[in-house]
Structure 1
Amino acid sequence: MNLCEPVELSIKCRNLPDKDFSSKSDPFVIMYFEENGRKTEFARTEIVRDSLNPEFSTKFDVDYFFEKKQNVVFEVMDSDDGTNRGKDRHDELGECKTTLGEIIGASSGRHIRRLPIAVENVPTKKGFFTGKEAVRTILEIRRGAGDADNTLVFRSKELKSEDPKFQVEIPGAKLNNGDPSREILIQLYRYRKSEMAQELIGQISLDGHELENWASSGEKKGIKDKTCAKLKNFKKSVDYTFFDFISHGLMINCMTSIDFTGSNGDPKSQNSLHFVDNSGSNRFNQYESAIWSVNSILEDYDSDKLFPVYGFGAKVPNLGVSHMFPCNLNPQNPFVQGTTGVLQTYRDCIRAVQLYGPTNFAPTIREASRMAAEADKRKNYFVLLILTDGAITDVDSTINAIVQASNHPLSIIIVGVGSADFSTMECLDGDDGVLVDSHRNRAARDIVQFVPFSRFCRPNSPPDMAGLASEVLKEVPKQVTSFMRSHGITPNLDFQYQQFDPTVPRY
């Protein structure tokens, strides 16, 4: 079953082009999901009049799936007829193409290309505000962003009553995303129609702790001393989700391990599982398909996109038969850049080594376990992708290594390529921690997911790579949260985004 996480996207634009003659542009944003080159409209924002730096109160509530590649497109349009309907009647101001994973994986909580996009979880706890001020007022609520660029959470309609009351239903964690030290601004504006502008009357500023105290007292003054804001039905949640960790700086580090044993067949033969098609047809073999399916999703959650790539079961130049060697043949630096780098390194390695054997998993699992054990567990979680064409020969050693690895921030994905009998692999997938090593130690948790590639092969059609990725990655979010919960680790709410510095060790 796929794990669906509700996510809220907040949109704001900066320095848009001005395509109107007598006034500024009247922008709105259209969001699309894109699949196989086809765009499907998802939602539209409201129009913000006369603005080249609009901030939209309309939020896009989307279902986010960690294990899927969800391509999204944001188009900024200039309304030419006073509506946000249609498209051909409006001028296009800009476009941003990205993925939900890339947005959420941005450690700053914002993804900035042409559009700054803030992402927050959509919780279910409710809060209510009531305020009073002078005539023609507007209420706005903003969530602090650690700088002057606070995120608009809510904007009311203009109320013309002499004694207006604003009642707003807001998910509680939406105010501060679970961070009790994060500032919340409740602001009142007077709207001047003659100037087409709104004037700030005043504001209440408080953090989550003050908010909780406010809930106990029932009211708070602070806007021009005449306004009383009341809060009811306040609830507090500490059940952190996978999204909470990812959006507060947790990186998913992907490590790939590839089977170079002789049972794969001569790579020069088209019948080999390692045959690389250089005819220009862009046809992947099963190893390439699995690498692309999994790594292209996981790279959205790794800020530097540097992946270590290892092989096993081959004769390596100047090394002999090896059960774990860097595929780029550089023991000092086994990391390569991005999914395309992993694919190219795999192809280069095929030509450089001699397929041999046997099929041993334990050395690579121990190396991944070492990396995970030495890493900052609040900032790093590891996924080891093992690609193999046959049953393992070091079963006992592999089980011992998995049981040890279950105590570290690590998940292991095994994809069986080809048509071999993989029935013995099922013993590694220890549901509910039933896996036991030779010393009678039980696995702390289930960290292994095995999937045969053949399940996603279709006659006379390309393999279902999206289906493969969904199946092999679906347990990772649960494995992340179970590890964090069992070790008492909470999201790094004080995380501040920093640019990647290649001179600083990652782990």
Structure 2
Amino acid sequence: MCVCVCVCVQITAEELTGNDDYIELSFSARKLDDKDFFSKSDPFLELYRVNDDATMQLVYRTETVMNNLNPIWKTFKVSLNSLCSGDHDRKLQVRRHLQTMMSAYDVTAPGLTLLFPVSCFLFVFQVQWPCINPKYRTKKKNYKNSGIVILNQCKIIKMHSFLDYIMGGCQIQFTVAIDFTASNGDPRNSCSLHYIHPFQPNEYLKALVAVGEICQDYDSDKMFPAFGFGARIPPDFKVSHDFAVNFNKDNPECAGIQGVVEAYQACLPKLQLYGPTNIAPIIQKVAKSASQEVHTKEAMQYFILLILTDGVITDMADTREAIVQASHLPMSIIIVGIGNADFGDMQMLDGDDGILRSPKGEPVLRDIVQFVPFRNFKHASPAALAKSVLAEVPNQVVDYYNSKGIKPKEPSEFQSSRPFGP
């Protein structure tokens, strides 16, 4: 059984335009009626949306506070889209319930309209209203109320979009890592995945150009670090898993995607493809750069690592550890599988089928890996591959900065030191 109090709450939110915005509410009550025989009442609140046809739809129900006449309910969040379906003037109804063993009876309260200003993201105030039982008010001379319900806090939070961060000056730092292990085949052989055909780009080049040409639009200087792994490199031909494709370890950046393509083609004859397929070193290298951005506490640089690989990862434990650590940083990892190998391990790294954990059991803080096998797009357009590969990145960018409470700068707040390219 229950006793309820209904209060209409109207939110005027002309300045709120995003469907992903939400409102955070905090309620408590004081000196509620005790309706249980053997213990105190167990109150909870329900928030209803009043529909156009005057019916009411439950939006949120708080937890039940057991055996308490002065409850404080946990702060809760409700998206404005579910709260008002885009109609920011829609009325809401709050009901206070008491779990009780007695028969239910009506408790009403005068209508109350609360206007929440939205010119700021945080507005804390305290509004309270009495729960009035008409029968008690008629029969009891000294009756005042059956308790007080209190709105302690209203916090309207605007959820920013990927475009908000880009327009606020956030730069996408795009890094490429290419697999040069022996399993790709001798580049001089036409069957090799690294074979440079005079008239048709190989799969590595197709994937690089399709993804890179999209990412470069979000990088003002269009200078991209490019690394290789799994090859013996000159001059001593020791195996390296994070060498600069242009062989300039002090400046591994290439001018635009075309510069990466040219560096890739130029380095192939100079390498000895070897192994194993270790990708943890390159993830750690980019993560080191991303970790420097954390200290700025601003949304100015976000790092995307594109890994192009043909084989089964041989340092899976280290890779899982590296990804878990990178999930705390402004960083995303895109893996494109080249060729027809078994990429089962890649699906695990993607995390879509479960939470990725380090060897010690630590879970990723957020999903930052997207894996796509190139073979699924062999006969599709480059745009289709890019769309699939980059599908999760905008949300990953927004999730990272929201989790840190970092808002995008207004376009007028920043001055880029480097002009945007055409």
Partner of 1:331: 249
Distance 1:409 1:327 in 2: 24
Shift of 1:396: 0.3
Contact 2:287 2:331 (C-alpha < 8 Å) held by counterparts:
yes
TM-score in terms of structure 1 length: 0.51
CA deviation vs aligned residue, 1:351-382 (integer Å, no higher than 9, x gap): 21111111001000001111111124510001
Q: Is the CA contact 1:432–1:445 (under 8 Å) kept in the aligned structure 2? A: no
2:413 aligns to what SS in structure 1? coil
**Given that residues 18 and 159 in structure 2 are in contact (C-alpha distance below 8 angstroms), is that contact kept between their aligned partners in structure 1?**
no
Residues 432 and 454 of structure 1: is their aligned pair in 2 closer, same or farther, counting only changes over 3 Å? Answer: closer
**Does structure 2 retain, via aligned residues, the 8 Å contact 1:360–1:394?**
yes
Partner of 2:258: 340
Residue 188 of structure 2: aligned partner: 268
Distance 1:433 1:499, change over 3 A: farther
> CA separation of 1:455/1:491 partners in 2, compared to 1, >3 Å: closer, same or farther?
same
RMSD of aligned C-alpha atoms?
2.6
Shift of 1:427: 1.2
Residue-by-residue CA offset, 1:207-266 (whole Å, 9 max, x unaligned): x969xxxxxxxxxxxxxxxxxxxxxxxxx7611111111111011110000000001011
Residue from 227, 241, 247 that aligns with 2:167: 247
Distance of aligned partners of 1:424 and 1:433 in 2 relative to their CA distance in 1, 3 Å threshold: closer
Structure 1 runs not aligned, ≥5 long:
1-120, 126-170, 172-207, 211-235, 502-507
Structure 1 pair 264–122 and aligned structure 2 pair: CA distance change class (3 A):
farther
The whole-number CA distance in structure 2 between the counterparts of 1:498 and 1:424 is: 40
Output the CA distance in 2 between the equivalents of 1:381 and 1:499: 17
Which residue of structure 1 lines up, in the alignment, with residue 197 of structure 2?
A: 277
Number of aligned pairs? 272
Letter in 2 for 1:478: N
Q: CA deviation at 1:400?
A: 0.3
Is residue 354 of structure 2 the alignment partner of residue 426 of structure 1? Answer: no
Aligned pairs (5 A) from 1:393-404? 393-404=314-325
Give 2:163's aligned amino acid: F
1:479 aligns with 2:400: no
Q: CA deviation at 1:420?
A: 0.9
Moved over 3 A (4+): 121-125
The residue type paired with residue 275 of structure 1 is: Y
CA distance in 2, matches of 1:498, 1:435: 37
For 2:164, give the aligned amino acid: D
Paired residues of 2:302 and 2:331 also in contact (CA < 8 A)? yes
Is the contact between residue 433 and residue 443 of structure 1 (CA under 8 Å) also seen in structure 2?
Answer: no
TM-fit CA distance, 1:498: 2.9
> CA 1:122/1:247 → structure 2, altered by over 3 Å: closer, same or farther?
farther
Q: Any unmatched runs of 5+ in structure 2?
A: 1-15, 21-85, 87-117, 121-155
Alignment of 1:286-305 (within 5 A): 286-305=203-222
Report the residue type matching 1:326 in the other structure: A
* Residue of structure 2 equivalent to 1:406: 327
Aligned to 2:291: 373
Bigger Rg, which one? 2
Letter in 2 for 1:447: I
For the 8 Å contact 2:216–2:222, the answer to whether it is kept is yes
CA–CA separation in structure 1 for the residues paired with 2:364 and 2:302: 18
What is the 5 A alignment of 1:136-215? Answer: none
Q: Structure 1 residues 393 and 432, CA, compared in 2 at 3 Å: closer, same or farther? A: closer
Written as runs of structure 1 = structure 2, the 5 A alignment for 1:452-471 is: 452-458=373-379, 463-471=380-388
Alpha-carbon offset, residue 122 of structure 1: 7.9
C-alpha separation in 2, matches of 1:496 and 1:323: 37
Q: Give distance in 1, aligned partners of 2:414 and 2:326.
A: 29
Compute the TM-score of the two structures, normalised by the length of structure 2: 0.61
Greater relative contact order, per chain length (Cα 8 Å cut-off, separation 6+): 2
Structure 1 residue 425: Cα displacement: 1.3
| Residue deviations 1:172-197 (CA, integer Å, cap 9, x gap) | xxxxxxxxxxxxxxxxxxxxxxxxxx
CA contact (8 A) 2:18 2:158 kept: no
Q: Is the 8 A contact 1:433 1:446 kept in 2?
A: no
2:357 alignment partner, one of 436, 444, 461 = 436
Structure 1: distance between partners of 2:19 and 2:327: 32
Q: Offset of 1:123 from its aligned partner?
A: 5.2
Comparing both structures, which one devotes a greater share of its residues to strand? 1
Contact 1:433 1:444 (8 Å CA) reproduced: no
Q: CA deviation at 1:496?
A: 2.4
Q: Does the Cα contact within 8 Å between 2:229 and 2:240 map onto a contact in 1?
A: yes
